[in-house]
A = this chain, B = another copy of it.
């Protein structure tokens, strides 16, 4: 049993793993198994294989329903922005999973515990263990707490184009005019903020600010999308 992990899972996520061996396996690297032979230990790779597929489905299902107008190509790109080594490693760190990985001494010395590739693997293997132990609904609950809020916090904005999304949404029943207009520039020269409004067929749908016009336009488009969704 990995001390502290069960307590954190219970306290932070209301998760209570039944099969402790499964959780141990999910947090154990091959290097640790090699250093502790004849203990019947298993390492995380098989469970990670499963967890990877579980995450693909849970994220696909969420963005499919959340963005009902988004075409396949952009869904695929958004999923790739969410389901990758970098973001999974950051989720693993936020859940403190790095503290609980069982590593061999050599790997520990080589700072594997800080390595994105390992942290990504462990996030996936945890998801696999959670799926095996508790089923898909509990995985969805966990991911809804840990991953999906990052969409609203703008974590994937680099990959995520609100202007294109707005265009797709308002043009689904035919062509409309979309126009971004600069309303104001505020602040000192070294900290300028732009204020932009987005007009759809000459009606203001949203406003946004940003330290570049591009960023202000993205925020205006996001604001317009929120307004349109609130109207639905």
Interface residues, chain A, CB within 8 Å of chain B? 45-46, 48-50, 52-54, 56-57, 60-61, 64, 70-72, 75-76, 136
Contacts and interface: CB of A to CB of B under 8 A. Distances in A.
A145 to B, nearest CB: 21
Q: In the A-B complex, list the 7 residue pairs whose CB atoms are closest, starting with the nearest.
A: A53-B60, A45-B72, A53-B57, A57-B57, A53-B56, A49-B72, A50-B64
A53 B72 CA distance: 13
Majority SS at the chain A contact face: helix
Contact of A46 (B57, B64, B136): B64
Contacts of A50: 60-61, 64
A49 B75 contact: yes
Nearest to A45: B72
A61 B53 contact: yes
A155 to B, nearest CB: 21
Contacts of A53: 53, 56-57, 60-61
A11 to B, nearest CB: 29
A64 B49 contact: yes
A129 to B, nearest CB: 12
A75 B61 CA distance: 24
A71 B64 CA distance: 32
A54 B57 CA distance: 6
Contacts of A56: 53, 56-57
Q: Give the interface centre of A50, A53, A75, A136 by most chain B CB atoms within 10 Å.
A: A53
